[in-house]
Structures are given as structure tokens and as C-alpha cells.
Structure 1
């Protein structure tokens, strides 16, 4: 997932999401994006397949962790992190941000789970 300075879907969730209206608000915030940050809740990702959604989630979580560590290290030096340019983020998105890329990047993870469980999760 490419990062940039452009706005990302963010939703100020006020409670545990049980009501239809709150679910609709989150869906509206997500729009046609593949990920959103739910304030006080965490990350939400979607995809055309389970594998794709899982890959975007894992990738986004790792990006968030890396960004937090980089920001903390930079702050410790009295500086700020360098941000990726929007055109570079767009190029990366077009190159590896496709549904197919999400599916194929997650497939090995699912293959390992299948092998380690002998497919018992399918029962």
C-alpha cells in the first residue's frame, strides 16, 4: 500500500458498531477505497476476495507500525519523516494495488495455514 499526504478514509466511530446506521456511516466513509481507519477501533480493509482483504490488512498494519517507528525515531532527533510524493504513491498503487496483487500476495499465507492444519479449518 502506498502512502501519501492525500486524505485517507477516516471514521470517528463513537461506539461498538452494532447499529445499522453506524455500519452505513462506515461504508460511506470507506466509499470505493480498500481501507479505512476507524478512530478508537482500528483498521478496516475490504477486497473482492478474503485473500485480498487479508493482504491489505496485513500490509496496512505493517505500514502503520513502520510509520509510527519512523516518526518516533525522527522526533527523537528533532526532525520529521520524509513523505512519499503523490505521483510516486499513485505509481505504486497502480503497480501493486490491484485486486489480483492483493490475492496473489496473500495466497502463500493461506497455503501455509492449509498445510499446517491439514485443511481442518474447512470442516
Structure 2
């Protein structure tokens, strides 16, 4: 992901999404945490336009960004407004690679309570409250 335009998991994600959309009618909401969020965003950006029209939104939780060639692609530009990014305070994973989409920062109980890797655990995000809000 850091030095390749596409890794095998991303190619698989596009194919999986296409098969799911061929099998099921209606709108789709894609979501993923960590690499899953990267795969959801990648698949949505690289699938054919007729499928992109059926994607209602993409929710990405503390996921690494995408390669520059993906971010600048027409497919990404088409779906970028549908992406909702969430990262915990002090995120490391969610700031890797290119992340042009502004993220909502959420509280994490892992701040100051242990190794930084705990920040990445979604169960450390109490009530999923955005920072600065009760």
C-alpha cells in the first residue's frame, strides 16, 4: 500500500464489491476499520461508475489513506464526497498515506493510558463522541 498503486487485497475488494452489487439490489453503505476502511474506500473509488451511483456512503474508521494515483483518479473524485472518515485522538494509522478527506476526530480513552497501538482499538472510543462534544 505504501509503494504500490494496488495491492492484491485492494483488487480483491473491488471484485468482491462488484459481485455483491450484482447479487443484491439497491443502495450500498460501505464501512471498514483500519485496512478494511482502506479497502472500502479503494473499492468504491475503482469500481465502474454504474456501481458507484449505488454507493450511498463509505464510513472509514482509523484507516490508512490511499496512494496518490488513487486519490487523483476520476473514480476517487466521483465518490470522495461520500467518504466519512473517523480517527481517534493521536491517530497514527489513520494519518498514513494520502488522506485528503478531512477526518472527524473522536475521543479515545487510550490517550495516556498505555502503548500508542491502543489508540487504534475502536473499543477505546467511548460512545463514539467527537472531541469537543459531550
Task: Name whichever structure is richer in strand by fraction.
Answer: 2
Whichever of the two has the greater Rg, that structure is: 1
Task: Name whichever structure is richer in helix by fraction.
Answer: 1
| TM-score past 0.5 threshold | no
Q: Relative CO higher for 1 or 2, CA cutoff 8 Å, sep ≥ 6?
A: 1
